[in-house]
Amino acid sequence: MYFTNSHRFKERYNKKDKKYLLATAKKMLPGYVLDNAKLEGNPMTFPEVKTLLDGITVGGHKLTDEKQILNLKKSWDLLMGYVATSKFDLSEWVMNSINWKVAEEEALEWGSFRKGPVFIAGTKRYEWPPAGQLPEIFATDVKTINAVENPVERAVAFFLWGSLNQFYYDGNKRTARLMANGVLLGECLGVFNTPASLVLTYNTLVTEFYDTRDATRISGFFEETSIVTFD
């Protein structure tokens, strides 16, 4: 899958009732939307995000910042609908539909694999996969990811793999994070959410991962900080 990972994940996680899990995740959604947006550099605060999600406009921010928040909310709603009706899977169709909501009116194109190169600021040795190879990369590698028995490891692997391959012109990490959440919610375990307070460590480890393709440190970071099980 174009990266190495020697981190050993915990073997057992406690499963929850799906209705309880989805209801709890929905209640906590403004916080998850805020954290997801902060990892992308969005300056909006929690009160502003909560107000915007309640349908009230917020002044003093770029329209693109507000659009990103609303797109994240729509993406989460779509994902939880898939999980609630057992329609979620690690498929190209589901990921494209998630990206459609994530990057709508933000990227060059959205909802389909990119047709050209991409660039990641801050990286030194990152090389993107050629656009023409993306469908084959997805079809081949997703089988390997689906074969990972530990669902938390599977979720983290999908996030890292989706982020690394840059399937889309924009919204790659947000899309991959939502797909990882689909894995955990579908397995009735919890959610995958990195707190905004850890954004510096997160950005450092993500950049390191892009350059080295060694997922050991970032996988350990995610297991320690980003798996929310509502225990």
Q: Which residue has the tokens 């980003």?
A: 226
**Could you give all domains of the chain from N- to C-terminal order, each with its CATH number?**
18-228 (1.10.3290.10)
In this model, does residue 222 exceed pLDDT 80? yes
Mean pLDDT of the chain: 93
Lowest mean pLDDT among 12-16, 159-163, 174-178: 12-16
* Placement of tokens 């190495």 in the chain: 4
State the pLDDT confidence band at 6, using cuts at 50, 70 and 90.
confident
- pTM confidence score: 0.94
In tens, the pLDDT along 119-143 reads: 888 888 788 899 999 999 999 999 9
pLDDT of res. 229: 92
Kindly state the average pLDDT of the residues 89-107: 95
- 60 pLDDT exceeds 80? no
Average pLDDT over residues 183-187: 97
> How would residue 83 be classed by pLDDT, with cut points 50, 70 and 90?
very high
